[in-house]
């Protein structure tokens, strides 16, 4: 007689409070493939854990965002926010789609150049531009977004030295009704600092004043904040036009649109609470169109959208290392990935799906990573099927900030693969090796022998 | 290891503790263990029954069994002696 399929014994308290109106099962429908490529096949070929990026979803997100803005406004340009995900292949997908580059350091700037972005299509943001960076940017005719007066004076000095007229914008910070207000970057609008900076630039005659930039925050949940920001930048542009009889070429409204991840501590799923790109586009373009510019004077609208374009295009596949029970009776599941790879689990309750079929039985558990560190918690509380050692899982929406803020801590970083439009699989970043990690280390002569 | 004497169970996996008013549901293997515990079967008999019926290694089941008993204790369904 054939034996029955075994599932580890489990008991669960029935509690009306656990049910919510969205149903219990949302988190444990199994995910067996990504873009038609079986999860088990990916893991057997590329190992576990492994990051998987869908080129199809990257392009779909980009085209949808462009559509949302271009159907509402005549002049739109996206600039890919490198810090959100600067794997070359990801950047190049966006560049192929027509996106410029937005960078905040020399390292990112050089990466953008190597990815084939012409200097004049690089937006250079951030408080950390060294003298040699500014020189490079001026020579390449990049868009220098000035963050503070020290940088403004340095740029003036270098413009004179190089005998070139750099194209500059200023970053503006402002009250958009959002708390906390991001006032550490750029020049303040309300206290007149931004207007003052513009006047200094114009008085110098040495810089080409081209644009106004702001980035009001990240994972913004209200569209009205963007309407407020756009209105304040329009006010500066309008006054600029009156005083200097010239048009501002562009308004750069930054990034900050949320992805559909669920923020920690929020009861509702992200998908149910987050405004769509279309709603943000409506708020921003409405404000600019109705501000009072003549049609031919309308500035180009630049967007530095990051997470909303990339988050849901990437997955992290992993494996259960062990399950155990904690002193208070809770179930704990230990995965082969932790906060070292999934930095965003500090902010999000990442959705995790099993990668194989299960019975309908489930249990509440805490999900830990493999690090020997107390902080390594991927989910504090999640209801999943009865996972056991060796089972595979899929973590959703991990494309933003993880592949840039991941840490080489305790373990090495795994492969990243890309599934292209034809469902071909490409390794776009190899597994790190001991030699790669230690390549830059130097051992002094007296430490070469350990003699144990 | 003894299930509390007043615990009510049904074939379909429903478990009720009248002294606390708590109700529980168990999966198939969980339910079998509870019925065997109710009949005061010793561990070796429980083990034999499950190993004969289900496709599972002895070592795996022993680990799962200990874990399951810990859950029953946690939910106050077992008399701790
Ligand atoms: C200047 C600037 N632009 C764009 C972005 C991208 O933001 P997000 O990923 O929230 O769209 C950031 C992120 O911090 C930023 O600092």
Q: pLDDT digit string (tens) for A36-45?
A: 999 999 999 9
- Is ipTM > 0.85 here? yes
Minimum-distance CB partner of A6 among B23, B33, B55: B55
Report the distance separating Cα A129 and Cα A147, nearest Å. 9
Mode of pairing for the β-strands spanning A208-213 and A167-173: parallel
Output the six-digit token pair for A1. 């007689």
b vs e for A378-395, b when ≥16 Cβ sit within 10 Å of the residue's Cβ?
bbeebbbbbbeeebbbbb
pLDDT computed for residue A1 by the predictor: 67
User: Nearest-CA neighbor of A165 among A129, A191, A204?
Assistant: A204
pLDDT > 60? residue B41:
yes
The burial class, CB within 10 Å (0-12 / 13-18 / 19+), for A231 is middle
Which atom number of ligand 1 is nearest to the Cα of residue A217? 10
Residue nearest atom 9 of ligand 1, based on CA coordinates? A306
User: Å from A393 to nearest chain B CA?
Assistant: 21
Q: How confident is the model over A33-88, as pLDDT tens digits?
A: 999 999 999 999 999 999 999 999 999 999 999 999 999 999 999 999 999 999 99
Stretch (H or E) spanning B33: helix B28-38
pLDDT > 90? residue A22:
no
Evaluated on CA atoms A416, A420, A423, A425, the torsion sign reads negative
pLDDT computed for residue A58 by the predictor: 98
Output the six-digit token pair for A282. 């409506």
Dihedral class, residue A23 (left if φ above 0, else alpha if ψ from -120 to 50, else beta): left
User: Taking a C-beta distance cutoff of 8 angstroms, is the pair A248, A212 a contact?
Assistant: yes
Q: First vs last Cα of chain A: how many Å apart?
A: 59
Output the six-digit token pair for A69. 């803005």
Report the distance separating Cα A48 and Cα B38, nearest Å. 43
pLDDT computed for residue A25 by the predictor: 46
pLDDT > 80? residue A208:
yes
User: Nearest-CA neighbor of A19 among A397, A449, A362, A405?
Assistant: A362
pLDDT computed for residue A265 by the predictor: 73
User: Taking a C-beta distance cutoff of 8 angstroms, is the pair A319, A335 a contact?
Assistant: yes
Q: What are phi and psi of A383, to 5 degrees?
A: -100, 120
The beta strand positions in chain B, using DSSP E, are 2-3, 8-9, 14-17, 22-26, 54-55, 78-79
pLDDT > 90? residue A130:
yes
Is B16 near chain A, with CB under 8 Å?
no
pLDDT > 90? residue A332:
yes
pLDDT > 90? residue A303:
yes
The beta strand positions in A32-151, using DSSP E, are 33-34, 37-38, 50-54, 76-81, 100-103, 122-124, 143-146
User: Nearest-CA neighbor of A169 among A321, A339, A300, A365?
Assistant: A300
Which atom number of ligand 1 is nearest to the Cα of residue A307? 9
pLDDT > 90? residue A232:
yes
Could you tell me the pLDDT band of residue A230, with boundaries at 50, 70 and 90? very high
Mean residue pLDDT across chain A: 94
pLDDT computed for residue A182 by the predictor: 86
Q: How confident is the model over A364-384, as pLDDT tens digits?
A: 899 999 999 999 999 999 999
Report the distance separating Cα A364 and Cα A14, nearest Å. 12
pLDDT computed for residue A21 by the predictor: 40
From B51, which residue of chain A is nearest by alpha-carbon distance? A3
Mode of pairing for the β-strands spanning A416-419 and A425-429: antiparallel
From chain A, pick out residues whose CB is under 8 angstroms from the CB of B67. Answer: 8, 325
* DSSP code, position B6: T
The CATH class, in words, for A126-303 is alpha beta
The answer to whether the Cβ–Cβ distance between A14 and B24 falls below 8 Å is yes
Mode of pairing for the β-strands spanning B54-55 and B78-79: unpaired
Dihedral class, residue A355 (left if φ above 0, else alpha if ψ from -120 to 50, else beta): alpha
The answer to whether the Cβ–Cβ distance between A11 and B24 falls below 8 Å is yes
Q: How confident is the model over A239-298, as pLDDT tens digits?
A: 999 999 999 999 999 999 999 999 987 766 777 779 999 999 999 999 999 999 999 999
From chain A, pick out residues whose CB is under 8 angstroms from the CB of B72. Answer: 11
User: Nearest-CA neighbor of A406 among A45, A155, A168, A87?
Assistant: A87
Contacts of A444 (CB under 8 A, 6+ apart): none
A305 lines ligand 1 (CB under 6 A): yes
Mode of pairing for the β-strands spanning A331-335 and A300-303: unpaired
pLDDT > 50? residue A418:
yes
* Options 2.40.30.10, 2.60.40.1180, 3.40.50.1980, 2.40.37.10; CATH of A33-53+312-438: 2.40.37.10
Task: Give me the half-sphere count of Cα atoms (radius 13 Å) on the Cβ side of residue B36.
Answer: 19
pLDDT computed for residue A358 by the predictor: 85
Report the distance separating Cα B7 and Cα A91, nearest Å. 61
Q: How confident is the model over A133-149, as pLDDT tens digits?
A: 999 999 999 999 999 99
pLDDT computed for residue A26 by the predictor: 45
At A383, is the secondary structure helix, strand, or coil? strand
pLDDT computed for residue B81 by the predictor: 57
Report the distance separating Cα B70 and Cα B77, nearest Å. 10
A306 lines ligand 1 (CB under 6 A): yes
Query: What's the whole-model pTM score?
Result: 0.89
Output the six-digit token pair for A429. 């970043």
Output the six-digit token pair for B45. 């008999």
Minimum-distance CB partner of A325 among B27, B55, B67: B67
Domain ranges of chain B: 2-79
**Mean local confidence (pLDDT), A394-400:** 98
Domain ranges of chain A: 33-53+312-438, 126-303
- In sequence order, what DSSP letters do the residues of A214-257 get, joined into one string? ----SS---THHHHHHHHHHHHHHHHHHHHHS----EEE-----
Evaluated on CA atoms A159, A162, A166, A170, the torsion sign reads negative
């Amino acid at each position: 007689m054939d034996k029955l399929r075994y599932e580890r014994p489990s008991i669960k308290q029935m509690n009306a409070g656990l049910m919510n109106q969205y149903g219990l099962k949302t988190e444990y429908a199994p995910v067996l493939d990504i873009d038609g490529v079986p999860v088990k096949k990916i893991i057997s070929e590329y190992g576990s854990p492994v990051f998987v990026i869908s080129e199809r979803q990257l392009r779909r997100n980009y085209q949808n965002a462009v559509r949302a803005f271009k159907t509402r406004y005549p002049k739109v340009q996206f600039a890919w926010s490198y810090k959100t995900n600067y794997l070359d292949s990801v950047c190049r997908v966006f560049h192929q789609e027509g996106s410029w580059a937005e960078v905040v350091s020399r390292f990112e700037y050089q990466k953008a150049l190597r990815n084939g972005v012409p200097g004049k299509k690089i937006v250079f943001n951030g408080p950390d531009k060294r003298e040699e960076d500014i020189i490079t940017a001026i020579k390449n005719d990049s868009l220098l977004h000035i963050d503070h007066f020290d940088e403004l004076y340095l740029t003036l000095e270098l413009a004179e030295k190089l005998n070139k007229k750099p194209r500059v914008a200023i970053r503006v910070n402002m009250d958009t009704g959002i708390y906390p207000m991001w006032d550490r970057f750029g020049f303040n609008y309300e206290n007149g600092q931004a207007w003052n900076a513009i006047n200094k630039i114009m008085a110098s005659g040495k810089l080409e004043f081209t644009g106004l930039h702001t980035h009001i925050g990240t994972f913004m949940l209200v569209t009205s904040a963007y309407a407020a920001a756009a209105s304040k930048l329009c006010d500066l542009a309008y006054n600029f036009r009156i005083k200097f009889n010239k048009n501002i070429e562009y308004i750069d409204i930054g990034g900050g649109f949320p992805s559909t991840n669920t923020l920690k501590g929020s009861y509702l799923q992200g998908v149910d609470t987050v405004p769509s790109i279309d709603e943000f586009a409506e708020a921003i373009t409405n404000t600019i169109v109705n501000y009072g510019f003549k049609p031919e004077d309308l500035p180009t609208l630049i967007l530095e959208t990051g997470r909303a374009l990339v988050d849901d295009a990437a997955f992290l596949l992993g494996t259960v290392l062990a399950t155990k029970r904690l002193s208070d009776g809770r179930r704990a599941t230990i995965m082969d990935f932790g906060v070292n790879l999934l930095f965003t689990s500090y902010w999000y309750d990442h959705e995790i799906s099993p990668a194989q079929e299960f019975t309908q039985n489930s249990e509440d558990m805490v999900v830990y990573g493999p690090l020997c560190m107390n902080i390594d918690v991927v989910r504090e509380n999640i209801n999943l099927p009865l996972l056991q050692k060796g089972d595979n899982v899929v973590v959703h929406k991990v494309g933003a900030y993880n592949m840039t803020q991941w840490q080489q801590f305790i373990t090495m970083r795994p492969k990243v693969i890309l599934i292209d439009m034809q469902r071909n699989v490409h390794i776009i970043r190899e597994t790190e090796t001991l030699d790669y990690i230690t390549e830059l280390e130097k051992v002094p002569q007296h430490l070469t022998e350990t003699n144990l | 290891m003894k299930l509390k004497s007043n615990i009510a169970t049904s074939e379909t996996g429903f478990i009720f503790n009248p002294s606390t008013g708590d109700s529980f549901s168990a999966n198939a293997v969980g339910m079998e263990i509870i019925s065997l515990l109710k009949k005061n079967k010793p561990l070796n008999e429980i083990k034999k029954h499950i190993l004969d019926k289900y496709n599972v290694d002895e070592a795996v089941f022993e680990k799962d069994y200990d874990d399951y008993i810990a859950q029953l204790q946690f939910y106050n369904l077992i008399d701790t002696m």
